[in-house]
A and B are shown apart, each in its own frame.
Chain A
Amino acid sequence: MAFEAVLTRNIRKPGSDGIDSYLASGGYQGLRRILKETAPERLVDEVKNSGLRGRGGAGFPTGMKWGFLPKTKDRPRYLCVNADESEPGTFKDRLLIEKDPHLVLEGIILSAYAIECQLAFFYIRGEFHQGYRTFERAVGEAYAKGFLGKNIQGSGYDLDILIYRGAGAYICGEETALLESLEGKRGYPRIKPPFPAVVGLYGCPTIINNVETLANVTLIAERGAAWFASIGRPPKNTGPKLFCLSGDVKRPGVYEAPLGVPFLELLNEYAGGMAHPDRPLKAAVPGGSSMKILPASKCDVLMDFDSLAAAGTSLGSAGGIVMDSGTCMVAALLNIARFYAHESCGQCTPCREGTGWIVKILSRLERGEGRREDVGLLADIAVKIEGNTICPFGEAIAWPVDSYVKTFRDEFEEHARRGACPMRPATVR
């Protein structure tokens, strides 16, 4: 069965970011039908049956997450949309927001209906200027056409949506830091438990979902759980997926494929193969910069949650980064570590202190001032961070460091031994 692109079906149409184009291609039909025919809990079941797993990075089953909301309704519930896409190499949500905002918005309205909430927040990365303008216009159009506000499409269901722009911190993509930021505070991840489904925004039960996840809810409402569950690698890795590919590939970009597509197929057929024919694949991070790296020899993997976990890495936000034989792994890791040291919120000790230390050691190695013991030290720092922090940011630095050092230990040691980067021409001192 040929795969039909559904998440990206509209993006090349002229005026794809406007509601007229969206309606013309059948948009909001699913929402109208659901509001008329389906009780909220039935929609929750539908999403559970679809097997949809969160597209933000952790891959948690979306329907199950919704099920964690307390049954009592003594407090308002909130839906927060995580549009703070900031992982280096990940740019899929941006595409949806800018090119098909109503696909996302319909998913938001459906999901809010499913969890019976009357107010949704759209937390969008501050640097997404165009995305913000596009989405704000889309929201205005939806209000004008009666898809938002009071008594949506005559169903008696009310929903308002507030757009909130982040101020430029990567950490605010962590769901509890996002909540803190929304509340006007410093973007510090919260201690869990309690989880947001119980104590979330302003202390109320809150569901936080990724943009792509919500776009998938639109598709499930439109075509049904069975259709969705038939795509990909059922039963646990279902549905279409947006994959980002960047680095040393011929055509970097966002590609839609079923979950479980082979990485090499993505690389060679979707992205056109390596950028330089004479420089073969050296390594790749299939899931995104915060995930573990795979050497070329292990890149023959399927791109889904469970296959990549079995391969020792994760799908993450599917921000694949491809490195060819010209890449210095110390420099590559330093580049990543600089980002994480800069973005560490500084709240808890291991991440705050460890990220900076890692950068200093890597800089020294790359400058040619490394010591042999630095290689082991790097791995040990990663071990001391991993699992000991308030939020998963700790893993986001520990995993790359640990996997780069373990996989390319010789290269790291060579830096120390030579007192120079072997990948770079000798520089005049």
Chain B
Amino acid sequence: MDDTSPPPHSPNLPRPPAGAAGAAPQPGPDEVALVIDDRPVVVKKGTTVLQAAEKAGLLVPHYCYHPGLSIAGNCRMCLVEIEKVPKLQIGCATVVAPGMVVRTGNERVRTVRAGIQEFLLINHPLDCPICDQAGECRLQSYEKDYGRGVSRFVDEKVHSPKRYDIGRSVVFDGERCIKCTRCIRFCDEISESHELALFQRGDHAIIGTFPGKPLDNPYSGCTVDVCPVGALTWKPFRFKSRVWFLKNVPSVCAGCARGCNVYLAAFRNRLHRMTPRANPDVNAYWMCDAGRQSYAALYERPRLERPVVRPSAAAWDAAFDRAAELLRGVAKSRGAGALAGIVSARLSVEDLHVSRKVLGDLAGISRLAVPPHEDGADDELLIRRDKTPNARGARLIGVGGPSAGRVKEIVDDVAAGRVRGLVVVGEDLLELPGVTTALLDRLDVLIVIDWWKSPTVERAHVAFPACGYGEFEGTMVNFQGRVQRLRAGVRPAGEADPVWRILRDLGRRFDLTSEYATPAAIFDEVAATVPAFRGLSYKVLGETGAPAAEAVAGEAYAGGAPAVGGAGLAGSIAPAGS
């Protein structure tokens, strides 16, 4: 669980049996031993009480504390009792000291916490039934533990702007806001775009923007993630689904070479949102707005839902037979040199591995090229100029990295009539420089595997419907050389199949003997045969991935360094559960 998830409802574990304190581990030179709720805890020097309690399995309720942001100490929810200190202290800002005795849940602490909770709700609209945050709202979670159930507040609430477009994609509700300033701190410290600030004073204090400067940075969606209540909502997700109906699947964004760890959230077989999933080595707690909405293409572009043998839809077997026949025909009449393939670095390691096997080894296509997709520049946080999520994987697997030159050679050979048959996987050729419909019409054979009805698909002799992002599982290697797993959040549209399975079944027409039953099995073969992947398996990759072996040995693996701009954001990442 990371910070985007609501806290558990009954966070505190039962007390250890009496005498357990005797088994306390001895603190090392850089460590501090203390006691929290009768539990001995040993933590690194400089750890805060809140983090130490977390380590001991005790969740100290909090709103304003976020492990990726500076300490604000304003919500006062994490007040705890420390022996020999007269006033309660905030756990988020109090650093542990040797021999400290902390109580996080006694009567005094609980009474104060209930008071804070009540204060936060007196001016809150209590509009949970129509609030998108309901179900993952900290006000709700803590109200369950600390609320009195009946409000003692009978006066007129403070009113603030509601449904206010604070930025391009974010809507602000001033009445739901608890002024924790997480969003302000995000814009000051992470995106460094400084759009947000607090205005006014007292209970009229309100988050706002400066005249003519809306919240419009490439990471604005993260303000919605860090908002512990329903004050900031993500426009594309508003009123789309109750969050408790969403199935959150851990996956990886395929929007660029960063490979931010994400949750794909689906309801009724439709993706409704992508949110960042904490990974200290890759994206810390963040992701960019473009990546956040990258799944939307699945619903915006016309889908290819069935195989096509021009000019009409066809059954799978007929399409495979026809494709094999066409490829053999070109090889026979023009020689294998007249065949070429364009495969995408947006495909998974498994897809690319089977591509190399089936297209290269079996169908005899000696030339495979991978088109580059670059846009803008690398920024200092997450965004990469390289928009292909698996360029590094294509290189490691032996297909070769994205190369405009190699693509151009093939395009030139098509123009010159030297290439007569082309297999295209996951690319729209007409997006590439120098490719025109007239050029494609010169081909004797054009076989396309893609998830949407691209202009290239329209001109294919045979086209196969592939899974789109979010519909397949597999692995990709990010720019750091980190191998990470993508998972499927929804079932494929129509008859679409994963690329590796389409290629496998095509390969059967060329005497493919490998079974390739699952992506995991393909990955195991990759691990066994490709040195860069030695020792890896889906199990080893787990939820947050692992560096490719070759990347570690050869080029310095970038994943050990802070994932995010200079000052070690990743270094500040606390254990999960914050």
Chain A: residues with CB nearer than 8 A to chain B? 169, 186, 191, 341-350, 352-357, 360-361, 364, 371, 373, 377, 383-384, 387-390
Q: Are B90 and A357 in contact (CB under 8 A)?
A: no
Closest to B73 in A: A191
Closest to A361 in B: B155
Segment with Cβ contacts to A, from B197-205, B528-536, B543-551: B197-205
Segment with Cβ contacts to A, from B16-24, B117-125, B448-456: B117-125
Interface of B is mostly: loop
Q: Are A390 and B201 in contact (CB under 8 A)?
A: no
Q: Are A387 and B88 in contact (CB under 8 A)?
A: yes
Chain B: residues with CB nearer than 8 A to chain A? 71, 73-77, 79, 87-88, 90, 93, 112, 115-116, 118-120, 122-123, 152-156, 158, 178-179, 197-198, 200-205
Chain B residues whose C-beta falls within 8 Å of the C-beta of A342 in the assembled complex: 201-202
Q: Are B74 and A357 in contact (CB under 8 A)?
A: no
Chain A residues whose C-beta falls within 8 Å of the C-beta of B119 in the assembled complex: 349-350, 352-354, 357, 384
The docked-state distance in angstroms from the alpha carbon of A355 to that of B74 is 16
Q: Are B155 and A343 in contact (CB under 8 A)?
A: no
Chain B residues whose C-beta falls within 8 Å of the C-beta of A373 in the assembled complex: 152
Q: Are B158 and A356 in contact (CB under 8 A)?
A: yes
A341's partner among B75, B120, B198, B202 (CB-CB below 8 A) is B202
B205's partner among A169, A346, A361 (CB-CB below 8 A) is A346
Chain B residues whose C-beta falls within 8 Å of the C-beta of A364 in the assembled complex: 155
Interface of A is mostly: helix
Q: Assuming A349-B120, A352-B205, A353-B120, what are 5 further A-B pairs, CB within 8 angstroms?
A: A344-B203, A348-B76, A352-B203, A384-B112, A388-B76
The docked-state distance in angstroms from the alpha carbon of A343 to that of B200 is 10
Q: How far is the CB of A285 from chain B (nearest CB, A)?
A: 22
Chain B residues whose C-beta falls within 8 Å of the C-beta of A377 in the assembled complex: 152
Q: Are B116 and A349 in contact (CB under 8 A)?
A: yes
The docked-state distance in angstroms from the alpha carbon of A371 to that of B154 is 10
Chain A residues whose C-beta falls within 8 Å of the C-beta of B204 in the assembled complex: 346
The docked-state distance in angstroms from the alpha carbon of A361 to that of B178 is 21
A360-B156, A384-B112 known; A349+B203 contact, CB < 8 A: no
A356's partner among B75, B112, B197, B203 (CB-CB below 8 A) is B203
Chain A residues whose C-beta falls within 8 Å of the C-beta of B205 in the assembled complex: 345-347, 352
A387-B88, A388-B112, A388-B115 known; A349+B202 contact, CB < 8 A: no
Chain B residues whose C-beta falls within 8 Å of the C-beta of A341 in the assembled complex: 202-203
Chain A residues whose C-beta falls within 8 Å of the C-beta of B200 in the assembled complex: 346
The docked-state distance in angstroms from the alpha carbon of A348 to that of B79 is 12
Q: Are B201 and A346 in contact (CB under 8 A)?
A: yes
Chain B residues whose C-beta falls within 8 Å of the C-beta of A348 in the assembled complex: 73-76
Q: How far is the CB of A389 from chain B (nearest CB, A)?
A: 7
Q: Are A346 and B87 in contact (CB under 8 A)?
A: no
Q: Which of A364, A389, A390 has the most CB of B within 10 A?
A: A390
Q: Please list the 6 inter-chain residue pairs (A to B) with the smallest Cβ-Cβ separation, ordered nearest first.
A: A346-B205, A384-B115, A356-B203, A353-B119, A360-B155, A344-B202
The docked-state distance in angstroms from the alpha carbon of A191 to that of B75 is 12
Q: Which of A169, A349, A356, A373 has the most CB of B within 10 A?
A: A349
A346-B200, A384-B119 known; A191+B179 contact, CB < 8 A: no
Q: How far is the CB of B175 from chain A (nearest CB, A)?
A: 13
The docked-state distance in angstroms from the alpha carbon of A182 to that of B203 is 24
Q: How far is the CB of B156 from chain A (nearest CB, A)?
A: 7
Q: Are A353 and B71 in contact (CB under 8 A)?
A: no
Chain B residues whose C-beta falls within 8 Å of the C-beta of A383 in the assembled complex: 115
Chain A residues whose C-beta falls within 8 Å of the C-beta of B118 in the assembled complex: 384
Chain B residues whose C-beta falls within 8 Å of the C-beta of A361 in the assembled complex: 155
Chain A residues whose C-beta falls within 8 Å of the C-beta of B116 in the assembled complex: 349-350, 384, 388
B201's partner among A169, A191, A350 (CB-CB below 8 A) is A169
Chain A residues whose C-beta falls within 8 Å of the C-beta of B202 in the assembled complex: 341-346, 352, 355-356
Q: Which of A345, A352, A353, A383 has the most CB of B within 10 A?
A: A353
Of the A-B pairs whose beta carbons lie under 8 Å apart in the complex, a sample of 13, sorted by A's number, is A191-B90, A345-B205, A346-B204, A350-B76, A350-B116, A353-B120, A355-B203, A356-B203, A377-B152, A384-B118, A387-B87, A390-B73, A390-B76
